[in-house]
Amino acid sequence: MTAPKIIIDTNIVSYLMRGSPESRAYAPHLTGKLAAISFITVGELYYGAEKAKWGEKRRLRLKTSLKNFVVIPYDHEIAKRYGKVLAERNRLGRPISHNDAWIAACAVRHGSPLVTHNERDFDSISDLQIISEKSKK
């Protein structure tokens, strides 16, 4: 039997890489799970490295850290869910960033919970289960 899959938002990956206090709060949610990230998260992390002008050592650490996760690639079903997420949030008067919509679409498409510290960015999305420690503080 395979471990249940969870999708991890970009902020959680960043916490894990830095070993920040928030990473400890999320550790119980990751234990025994197949940790996956969206292809968008990979792009966001590389963008952060470019923007911050990371050197070769930090970039290599990022590349190595990404090997700890299954990367969910684009597929047609994710694209359909992406369109639905954007439209749904716009109808509610709660626009969502395109990157967050893609991440949510990956989680909904795979029926996996999304672990995020930014739950407000993802609330009110049909069929999306959110795991967050932020509201528990």
DSSP string, 53-118: T--HHHHHHHHHHHTTSEEEPP-HHHHHHHHHHHHHHHHTT----HHHHHHHHHHHHHT--EE-S-
Range of the domain at 68: 5-136
Task: Return the residue matching tokens 């909904």.
Answer: 108
Give the number of other Cβ atoms within 10 Å of residue 121's Cβ: 21
The pTM score is 0.93
Q: Phi, psi at residue 59, to the nearest 5°?
A: -65, -40
Dihedral sign for Cα 66, 10, 49, 57, please. Answer: negative
Q: What is the pLDDT of residues 79-123, one digit of tens each?
A: 999 999 999 999 999 999 999 999 999 999 999 999 999 999 999
Overall domain count for the chain: 1
**pLDDT digit string, tens, across residues 57-73:** 999 999 999 999 999 99
Instruction: Identify the CATH number of the domain in which residue 69 sits.
Output: 3.40.50.1010
| Span 13-46, pLDDT tens digits | 999 999 999 999 999 999 999 999 999 999 999 9
Closest CA to 47 of 38, 59, 37: 59
Which residue do the tokens 């550790």 mark? 27
Cα–Cα distance for residue pair 27/13, rounded to 1 Å: 11
